[in-house]
Chains A and B, each alone.
Chain A
Amino acid sequence: GENVEQHPSTLSVQEGDSAVIKCTYSDSASNYFPWYKQELGKRPQLIIDIRSNVGEKKDQRIAVTLNKTAKHFSLHITETQPEDSAVYFCAASNPSGSARQLTFGSGTQLTVLP
């Protein structure tokens, strides 16, 4: 089955700096890669996703890049703010019927220091 590795497990940045979180996946058939943000005790919330036919996607301060050949994808947050502090999870999904079976990384605790 799919295996997703996520690094780093913790990341501290100064407010206004950029943050980068990286994930690798093992199954070359995976074609959908979402990123979720989870605040303490809350539900994970989708912040951005990318499909395998696209190399990069951007939404305001957040961007995701995908390298299918190397089987890795990254989350980039620019101009970080204290409210960006949370745990971020990457995930990968291969086509299996109409329901997406997501395999999650182990998470990155991002702390933005004021």
Chain B
Amino acid sequence: DGGITQSPKYLFRKEGQNVTLSCEQNLNHDAMYWYRQDPGQGLRLIYYSQIVNDFQKGDIAEGYSVSREKKESFPLTVTSAQKNPTAFYLCASSLNYQPQHFGDGTRLSIL
């Protein structure tokens, strides 16, 4: 799905630092999502947004924040309050009521 771009591909976080993961889509999708994937596990929903300037918490929102100022962009900030941030982060988007399609992911590690 070349229409969903996540950057960077790899990211390192120092203790006490906030980092922001980028997700951009040019598919004109209304809904966007952030998932966290830990080794050997399924995906868990962090936040999702159905429309601009609106978003809802998923199952594991603590320690994360998002914004949706533009339809095509849904950045995720991993704050210092997230004590175990090392994971593979996946962004997805969809038209209303349609299947979700994923970006290539960002791998976040702690320095």
Interface size class of chain A, counting residues whose CB lies under 8 Å from the partner chain: 20 to 34
CB pair B41–A99 under 8 Å, yes or no, is no
Cβ of B30 < 8 Å from any Cβ of A?
yes
Cβ of A43 < 8 Å from any Cβ of B?
yes
Please tell me which one of the listed residues A100, A102, A107 contacts residue B41 in the complex, with CB atoms under 8 A apart: A107
A102 → chain B closest CB, angstroms:
7
Report the bound CA distance from A101 to B48 in whole Å: 8
CB pair A99–B48 under 8 Å, yes or no, is yes
B71 → chain A closest CB, angstroms:
13
Cβ of B8 < 8 Å from any Cβ of A?
no
Closest to A97 in B: B50
Cβ of B96 < 8 Å from any Cβ of A?
yes
Q: How many A-B residue pairs have CB under 8 A?
A: 59
Please tell me which one of the listed residues B1, B42, B100 contacts residue A100 in the complex, with CB atoms under 8 A apart: B100
Report the bound CA distance from A4 to B90 in whole Å: 19
Q: Which residues of B contact A65 (CB under 8 A)?
A: none
Please tell me which one of the listed residues B44, B59, B90 contacts residue A44 in the complex, with CB atoms under 8 A apart: B90
Closest to A106 in B: B42
Please tell me which one of the listed residues B30, B58, B59 contacts residue A98 in the complex, with CB atoms under 8 A apart: B30
Which positions in A face B, CB cutoff 8 Å?
1, 4, 6, 34, 42-46, 49, 89, 97-107
Which positions in B face A, CB cutoff 8 Å?
1, 30-31, 33, 40-45, 48-50, 58-59, 90, 94, 96-97, 99-105
